[in-house]
Structure formats: C-alpha cells, structure tokens
Amino acid sequence: MVSKQILIALGMLAAVAVCLAVAARALGAHDAAEVGAAERLAMALRWLLVPGLCLLAGLGATANRRFFSSEAIDGEPPSRPGAFEINLRYNTNTLEQTVLAAIAWSGLALALPARDLSLIPALAGLFAVGRAAFWIGYLYAPWARAFGLGLTFYPTAAALIWLAVRMFA
C-alpha cells in the first residue's frame, strides 16, 4: 500500500507542478480591453464545451460498450471489475469535475482582471489533458489516475478557494 501511496503522491505533485506552470504562463497574457459581464460569461461558457466533450466521450464509450455486451445491454451494472466499470467511474467523476469547473470558470470570468482571462482557456486545456490522463491511467492501474485527477481537480479547487476568499474577505 505504501508504494501505491508514493506513486499517487508523485502523480499529484507532478500535476501541481504542471498546473502552476500553465497558470504562470496564462496569467497576464491576455491583451484585451475591459469587457462586460455578458462577454466574460459567454467566454467561460464557450470553454465549458471542453468538459462537455470529455463527458460526451465517456458516455459514448459506455453506450458503445453496452450495445456490444449481452451482459450490459439492459443497463445492468458490471458483474465484475474491468474496463466497463472504469468507464462508468470516469463518467461519474467527469460529471462531478464538470459541475465544479462550471461554477469556478463562471466565477473567474466575472472576477479576474481582463489581462488574466486567458486563464480560463488554460484551465480548459488542463481539464482535457487531465481527463484523458485520468481515464488512460485508470485503465492501466487505479493509482495511475492520480496525475489526471490532479490536473482536473487542483485548478478548480484553487479557483473556488480564491473566489471564496474574495467573496468573504
């Protein structure tokens, strides 16, 4: 168990390092005039297409697997662990991450200075890479999903915490 915990911790630390590097590059990179709330929210909503596509990929893979499985075609849960169960877990986690990202990105769109709005597309990129790494890693071994989870979860958590501190400070 300790070796798995070390591997998970290394995956999470690598994710934090990547997230910090991407955020440092994105912050201050937007060269635009001040935009209104409607345009800001529209931008966040456009980038939420990325999590939507990640969820669509998982749902499509699950539907395809159900269609070709006599055991799963009636909507039954998997009888044994395997790739089908991992797809279901990916879908559930991706939906959870998408809801949190929608809240965080909408808040960031309204709260960030105009020069920092490029953080939102950067977060969308991290989300896509993170979901792919989570899914592929999970199919390889449960501990290997840590890097992908970190790329998706940590930026959203940081954004929500930053927004909460601004709201209550």
Instruction: Using a pLDDT cut of 90, give the percent of the chain over it.
Output: 64
- 71 has pLDDT over 90: no
pLDDT at 85: 85
Q: List, for residues 108-146, the tens digit of each pLDDT value.
A: 999 999 889 999 999 999 999 999 999 999 988 888 899
Among the residue ranges 8-17, 79-88, 155-164, the one predicted with the least confidence is 79-88
Architecture in CATH of 2-168: Up-down Bundle (1.20)
DSSP string, 38-67: HHHHHHHHHHTHHHHHHHHHHHHHHHHHHH
C-alpha distances out from residue 115 to 101, 119, 120, Å:
20, 9, 11
User: Where along the chain do its domains lie?
Assistant: 2-168
Residue bearing the bigger pLDDT, 169 or 5:
5
- Structural contact between residues 141 and 3, judged by C-beta atoms closer than 8 angstroms: no
pLDDT at 74: 60
Cα 109 from Cα 116, distance rounded (Å): 9
- 77 has pLDDT over 80: no
